Amino acid sequence: MPADKGLARIADRAAGNLAADPLPLFAGGFDWPLLVLRASALDGNIEAMAGYCAAHRVLHAPHGKTTMAPQLLHRQLAAGAWAITAATIGQLQVYRAAGLPRVLLASELADPRAIGWLGEQLAADPAFDCYVYADSAAGVLLLADGLRAAGRGASGRLRVLVELGFPGGRTGCRSTEAALAVAAAVQAEPELRLAGVAGFEGGIRGVDAAATHAAIAAFATGLRELAESLPGEPPADLAGFIVSAGGSAYFDIVLRELTAGVRPLTVVLRSGAYVIHDHGHYAATGPAARGVPGTPRFAAAAELWAQVISVPEPGLALLNAGLRDISCDQGMPVPLWLRQAGAAAGAAPAALAGAGYSVRRLDDQHGYLRLPDAAPVRPGDLVGLGCTHPCTTLDKWRKIPLVDDDYLVRDLISTFF
């Protein structure tokens, strides 16, 4: 039974060595729609972020939820990432199965069975290093009880980051005083080890861009001051207590504020969406888009190729791709390319940027493509779309072709959402 979208007719070839015997995307028997990733953009993004963090002497624990692709996570580690961040226990379990040595779980863990499983992992593997969040005394007790139940081998192995939040935001203590009380609760439990503090600035919004940037800077400053006020000593293998934040939009502001203190701290950025980047949310809000000097420039790696199935009226074409194939939570997909039916296998697609094409709506399986006057679009043509938020696009695909700049498929990237 076919299980992977777009790949049913190339299943036998896909099992072979695509690196040595690549398949042309437009003449290789693929079905549409199909999400692909550009290898050059992925490699460039990974190298750019690794170089940025190394230059600023901060650690990087990229969030893996964007791709949930162990092939890519291992590439990020090989480029210098200190750890990989997870959002759920299920993601952490995927990471463990993939052999990742250090994981930062950027969330509170409240399920006793999940805590017990994590304790068993720590007890069984002395080389496994794991960090989790806490934002309440009740949550600290759940963690400690779960480790006690797991046995003596896990005692003292789980490292805890006290999470600081903000009013109206997600999880996290709502004040420095509350956070220090949670830190004291962690230090009172011999099964746990206080490792620092963490927060997430991505949900902060001001009345305009300047106000948003100022509010993010203030939050990051408060996070750093909380880390500087922690009592006791950090784990011996750290240069100082960890202070961690940084999505893929405002990591420059976060880095500036987290590194501005006087007490030695271990700064950990968790930017993750950069590895795919996009043609929307991060392309508009990231440091390079804001003209911040010395920040890396990322390239969008994901393209969804959909087929025109109908041109039912002037100015409108229907694509065979919709909400089940690409996200629109941060804006509609962006038309990038047009490849007309019957074009030679190696023919370059025509660029659509600035030509008056736009996606105006998505249904489950259809995309509504607005056309300029006299657009040369016919049923059977292919349209390449850029995604506007990678984190809610890749989860719709189990296997994603990796293409070079000539659209030769040289690998398949497996995801585990």
| CATH code of the domain in which 410 resides | 2.40.37.20
Residue where one domain finishes, among candidates 217, 236, 271: 271
Q: Is residue 150 part of a domain?
A: yes
Tokens found for residue 299: 């390239």
Strand partners, 306: 383
Q: How many CB atoms are located within 10 Å of the residue 178 CB?
A: 17
Residues 210 and 262 in one domain: yes
Which H or E run includes 337? strand 334-339
Residue type, 283: A
Q: At what angle do helices 137-150 and 112-124 cross, to 10 degrees?
A: 50
Q: Is residue 66 part of a domain?
A: no
Residues 235 and 343 in one domain: no
pTM: 0.95
Q: Is residue 56 part of a domain?
A: no
Residues 135 and 253 in one domain: yes
pLDDT of residue 405: 96
Task: Find out whether 276 and 66 touch, Cβ atoms under 8 Å.
Answer: yes
Closest C-alpha among 139, 107, 109 to residue 121: 109
Residues 393 and 345 in one domain: yes
Burial of 370 (0-12, 13-18, 19+ CB in 10 A): middle
* Strand pairing class (358-362; 316-319): unpaired
Backbone φ and ψ of 26, nearest 5°: -95, 5
Residues 255 and 345 in one domain: no
Region of 380 please: left (phi>0), alpha (psi -120 to 50) or beta. Answer: left
Question: Look-up: residue for tokens 């992977």?
Answer: 4
pLDDT of residue 346: 79
Predicted confidence pLDDT, tens digits, the chain (417 residues): 567 899 988 877 766 688 888 999 998 789 999 999 999 999 999 999 999 999 999 999 999 999 999 999 999 999 999 999 999 999 999 999 999 999 999 999 999 999 999 999 999 999 999 999 999 999 999 999 999 887 766 778 899 999 999 999 999 999 999 999 999 999 999 999 999 999 999 999 999 999 999 999 999 999 999 999 999 999 999 999 999 999 999 999 999 999 998 899 999 999 999 999 999 999 999 999 999 999 999 999 999 999 999 999 999 999 999 999 999 999 999 999 999 998 987 788 999 988 899 999 999 999 999 999 999 999 999 999 999 999 999 999 999 999 999 999 999 999 999
Residues 256 and 313 in one domain: no
pLDDT of residue 180: 98
pLDDT of residue 344: 86
Taking the CA of residue 373 as centre, how many other CA atoms within 13 Å lie in the half-sphere pointing to its CB? Answer: 0
Q: Is residue 145 part of a domain?
A: yes
Residue span of the structural domain in which 366 resides: 8-38+298-414
CATH code for the domain in which residue 215 is found: 3.20.20.10
Residues 332 and 260 in one domain: no
Residues 133 and 264 in one domain: yes
Q: Is residue 281 part of a domain?
A: no
CA distance 202 to 250: 8
Residues 230 and 311 in one domain: no
Residues 267 and 302 in one domain: no
pLDDT of residue 28: 77
Q: What is the number of structural domains in the chain?
A: 2
pLDDT of residue 149: 84
Q: Is residue 213 part of a domain?
A: yes
Q: How many CB atoms are located within 10 Å of the residue 346 CB?
A: 11
Q: Is residue 126 part of a domain?
A: yes
Residues 308 and 249 in one domain: no
Strand partners, 399: 414
Q: Is residue 279 part of a domain?
A: no
Residues 144 and 239 in one domain: yes
Taking the CA of residue 131 as centre, how many other CA atoms within 13 Å lie in the half-sphere pointing to its CB? Answer: 26
